[in-house]
């Protein structure tokens, strides 16, 4: 059975007065902001305690983090570059979760998609543009979907828990990628499990050279808009939201539950593959060990933190991207424990999940009590 997702009414009532509709949307936006902001505030408080214990001034550290993330155009560019991969994985996670499907397999799709794009991109030296980019990206998309296809079929046709299968396929994809690099695609003279660099004509162009942010960010933003349009303005998107918010009712109403489950898991894998391809072609320009800094799992936290809202996803991705971009450079100015960034991100992830899981557990217990009293 799919996991219900916290969702407002599926669509506005056309007969609802405009003023009442505006008030209702304002209330929903305020509730979403409150629920999303709580984990961030808790994380900042926990981080402040850690900083105080280690002899650092939280105000100074947080101020320096903001400055290093957004203080100059070059720092903003670095933040946007760090935002790009986790924006892809957040969209992928949100796409599946809107259907009540809790996949953790985006990480595997991202990794195998990145390896495929890097290998194909390194062979594109004599291929004219734009094929030199489209071929590696196409391979990345297929590789990302390949990681998701078995969990999708098992979930849709046999009801096998997708959390277990997608998690296991993360290990399979990561192990397979490492073996392929070592056995077939290891760059000459390299001993750190790296492929050859992609050909210059296969690289995604930089948005503002010499900054690292690339056209991959534009692709991610286009996907975010497509995600919003799909969920709000298509029949299948309506079924996603219906099944995600009321799975039993949706089954009783004859909605295409099996189709939705397949599309949700496969779609998340395909988007993860696109993200891996964009990361390989747009930023690192090859595949190496540690290609993904747990981007898939960070995307889960962002999707939950944003309540699957596109604007919230973008803001959450920028927040995590800022932490990643600023965390490395701020240590040049402050004697900051490197683990503080992990503490902040981990705390946000924990409480983002908790703000969804705890209300669901309460509803489940209340339903059980009501059933026992009947």
Query: How sure is the predictor about 270, in pLDDT bands with cuts at 50, 70 and 90?
Result: very high
Task: Return the minimum-mean-pLDDT range out of 113-117, 118-122, 287-291.
Answer: 287-291
Cβ atoms of 69 and 80 closer than 8 Å: no
Question: What one-character-per-residue DSSP string does 319-369 give?
Answer: HHHHHHHHHHHHTTTS---THHHHHHHHHHHHHHHHHHHHHHHHHHHHHHH
Residue from 166, 173, 35 nearest 115 by CA? 173
pLDDT tens digits, 173-191:
999 999 999 999 999 877 6
pLDDT, position 10: 45
| Residue the block writes with tokens 């094929």 | 131
More confident residue, 238 or 19: 238
What is the spatial distance between Cα 40 and Cα 47, in angstroms, rounded to a whole number?
A: 10
- Give the residue extent of every domain in the chain: 86-313
- List of E strands, 186-336: none
Q: Which residues contact 14 (CB under 8 A, 6 or more apart)?
A: none
How many percent of the chain have pLDDT more than 90? 59
Please list the residues that pair with 288 across neighbouring strands: 194
End-to-end CA distance of the chain: 24
Residue from 250, 255, 257 nearest 156 by CA? 257
Q: Which residues contact 217 (CB under 8 A, 6 or more apart)?
A: 80, 81, 83, 84, 87, 207
What is the spatial distance between Cα 57 and Cα 59, in angstroms, rounded to a whole number?
A: 6
Tokens standing for residue 11: 């669509």
**Helix 58-70 crosses helix 18-53 at what angle (to 10 degrees)?**
120
pLDDT, position 367: 61
Cβ-based neighbour number of residue 68 at 10 Å: 23
More confident residue, 33 or 296: 296
What is the spatial distance between Cα 54 and Cα 269, in angstroms, rounded to a whole number?
A: 41
3-state secondary structure (DSSP) of residue 288: strand
* pLDDT exceeds cutoff 50 at 141: yes
Query: How sure is the predictor about 8, in pLDDT bands with cuts at 50, 70 and 90?
Result: very low
pLDDT tens digits, 120-135:
999 999 999 899 999 9
pLDDT, position 188: 86
Gyration radius from the chain CA atoms: 22
Task: Return the minimum-mean-pLDDT range out of 32-36, 122-126, 250-254.
Answer: 32-36
pLDDT average, residue stretch 256-275 = 96
* pLDDT exceeds cutoff 50 at 239: yes
More confident residue, 296 or 46: 296
Mean pLDDT of the chain: 86
pLDDT average, residue stretch 262-288 = 97
Q: Which residues contact 259 (CB under 8 A, 6 or more apart)?
A: 156, 236, 239
Highest mean pLDDT among 194-198, 250-254, 301-305, 328-332: 194-198
Tokens standing for residue 330: 């701020």
Query: How sure is the predictor about 30, in pLDDT bands with cuts at 50, 70 and 90?
Result: low
pLDDT tens digits, 37-74:
777 888 888 888 888 888 888 888 888 889 999 999 99
Cβ atoms of 330 and 58 closer than 8 Å: no
pLDDT tens digits, 329-363:
777 777 776 677 778 878 877 777 776 666 666 66
Cβ-based neighbour number of residue 229 at 10 Å: 12
């Amino acid at each position: 059975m799919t996991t219900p997702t916290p969702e407002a009414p599926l669509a506005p009532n056309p007969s609802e007065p405009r003023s009442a509709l505006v008030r209702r949307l304002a209330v929903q936006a305020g509730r979403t902001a409150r629920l999303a902001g709580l984990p961030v505030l808790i994380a900042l408080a926990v981080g402040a305690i850690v900083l105080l214990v280690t002899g650092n001034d939280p105000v100074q550290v947080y101020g320096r983090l903001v400055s290093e993330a957004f203080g100059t155009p070059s720092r903003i560019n670095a933040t946007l570059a760090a935002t790009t991969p986790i924006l892809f994985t957040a969209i992928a996670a949100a796409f599946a979760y809107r259907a009540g499907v809790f996949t953790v397999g985006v990480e595997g799709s991202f990794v195998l998609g990145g390896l495929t794009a890097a290998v194909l991109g390194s062979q594109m030296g004599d291929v004219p543009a734009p094929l030199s980019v489209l071929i590696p990206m196409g391979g990345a998309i297929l590789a990302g979907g390949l990681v998701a296809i078995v969990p999708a079929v098992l979930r849709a046709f046999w009801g096998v828990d997708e959390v277990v299968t997608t998690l296991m396929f993360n290990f399979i994809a990561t192990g397979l990628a490492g073996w392929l690099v070592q056995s077939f695609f290891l760059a000459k003279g390299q001993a750190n499990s790296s492929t050859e660099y992609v050909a210059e004509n296969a690289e995604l162009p930089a948005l503002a050279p010499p900054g690292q942010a690339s056209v991959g960010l534009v692709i991610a933003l286009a996907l975010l808009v497509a995600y919003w349009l799909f969920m709000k303005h298509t029949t299948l998107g309506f079924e996603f939201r219906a099944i995600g918010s009321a799975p039993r009712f949706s089954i009783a109403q004859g909605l295409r539950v099996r189709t939705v489950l397949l599309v949700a898991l496969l779609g998340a894998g395909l988007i993860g593959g696109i993200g891996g391809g964009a990361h390989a072609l747009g930023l690192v320009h090859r595949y190496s060990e540690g290609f993904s800094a747990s981007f898939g799992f960070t995307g889960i936290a962002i999707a939950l933190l944003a309540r699957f809202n596109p604007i919230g996803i973008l803001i959450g991705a920028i927040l995590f991207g800022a932490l990643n971009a600023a965390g490395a450079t701020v240590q040049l100015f402050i004697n900051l424990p490197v683990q503080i960034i992990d503490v902040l991100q981990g705390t946000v992830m924990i409480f983002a999940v908790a703000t969804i899981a705890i209300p669901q557990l309460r509803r489940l217990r209340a339903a059980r009590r009501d059933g026992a009293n009947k």
